[in-house]
């Protein structure tokens, strides 16, 4: 996995979390969680062909699921 792809996923997850006004009260913990989520998303989708699947829909669904669990 390229560093840029991981960072892109992390940025997308953080953007989605911000949109949903996610904040646990501990920004360091939130950032650590989002890094873990980005790595998890990338591992889960390492073989996904993004020409056949919609990346944005996938990352939005993934992030929203995580935010529901942790919010």
> pTM surpassing 0.85?
yes
The per-residue DSSP string of 29-47 comes to HHHHHHHHHHHHHHHHTTT
Q: What is the pLDDT of residues 19-53, one digit of tens each?
A: 999 999 999 999 999 999 999 999 999 999 999 99
Q: What is the pLDDT of residue 70?
A: 73
Task: Give the pLDDT score at 3.
Answer: 79
Separation of alpha carbons 56 and 63, rounded Å: 10
Quick one: tokens of 53? 């699947």
The residue extents of the domains of the chain are: 3-70
Tell me the average pLDDT of the chain: 94
């Amino acid at each position: 996995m390229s560093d840029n792809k991981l960072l892109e996923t992390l940025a997308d997850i953080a953007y989605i979390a911000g949109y949903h006004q996610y904040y646990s009260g501990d920004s360091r913990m939130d950032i650590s969680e989002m890094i873990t989520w980005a790595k998890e998303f990338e591992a889960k989708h390492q073989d996904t062909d993004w020409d056949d699947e919609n990346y944005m829909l996938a990352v939005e669904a993934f992030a929203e699921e995580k935010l529901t669990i942790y919010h």
